[in-house]
Amino acid sequence: MSGVLVVTGASRGIGAACAILGAARGFKVCVNYHSSPDRAEAVVAKIAAAGGRAIAVGGDMGREKAITALFEQVDEALGPVTALINNAAMTGTVGRLEVMQEAEMAEVFRLNLIGPFLCAREAVKRMSTKNGGQGGVIVNITSAAARLGGASQYLHYAASKGGLETFTKGLGLEVAADGIRVVGVQPGVIDTEIHARMGMPERVAELGRAAPLGRPGTAEEMAQTALWLISGEASYITSTTIEATGGR
């Protein structure tokens, strides 16, 4: 593989694993972060130590100005994007609908759904063969919550990820003739920090054991799935989301 890969929310977890594997596969990588510059720079250092090329770019991927600035910086430092992984997301506060506040609902949808729309817009502008680009692939990281519903925990998160899967379907149809494929990865319970940040550190072990494969997934497994979808081996796959849930 070669080209320029942008990974949003890449300072930890699935995003960091995607950035590291993408660099190992030959991409020049933009490691986006919002509030963890040290961790993003550590990902960049790991890529550089392995002989790859990467830059860390800060910015809230739910804000249009930050998104456009990121893609402009990537243009200048690495070249036009040829692969995008929309990974940045938040769960919001865990609880039933009765305790959810409008402001937090809006933040969840802003980062988890509007942000990927805007990132994909900037990517399509650069990738589209109709605009003089060389084509490319957009991967949206969704969640099994989109299918399971998130009842009594995070309805807003689940609904935003469901919207992201609909967006994956529709955008893939829209830009297929532009040389762009759009695909999704739907992780199940993955052993990352997100569960502890939700205030549910025991969730990984409990739900992982309940999966048919008997364990949680890893960030590296999700990265392998995403990078496979970007590769030529998946060249006839678009407008669909792959379940990577251990059978859950």
- pLDDT tens digit sequence for 21-79: 999 999 999 999 999 999 999 999 999 999 999 999 999 999 999 999 999 999 999 99
- pLDDT tens digit sequence for 54-69: 999 999 999 999 999 9
- pLDDT tens digit sequence for 115-141: 999 999 999 999 999 999 999 999 999
At residue 206 the predicted structure's pLDDT band, cuts being 50, 70 and 90, is confident
At residue 197 the predicted structure's pLDDT band, cuts being 50, 70 and 90, is low
Query: Among all residues, which ones are annotated catalytic?
Result: 157
Q: List the domain boundaries for the chain.
A: 3-244
- Topology adopted by domain 3-244: Rossmann fold (3.40.50)
Q: Global pTM? A: 0.95
Q: What is the DSSP string of the chain?
A: --EEEEESS-SSHHHHHHHHHHHHTTEEEEEEESS-HHHHHHHHHHHHHTT--EEEEE--TTSHHHHHHHHHHHHHHT-S-SEEEE--------S-GGG--HHHHHHHHIIIIIHHHHHHHHHHHHH-GGGT---EEEEEE--THHHH--TTT-HHHHHHHHHHHHHHHHHHHHHGGGTEEEEEEEE-SB-STHHHHTT-TTHHHHHHHHSTTSS-B-HHHHHHHHHHHHSGGGTT--SEEEEESTT-
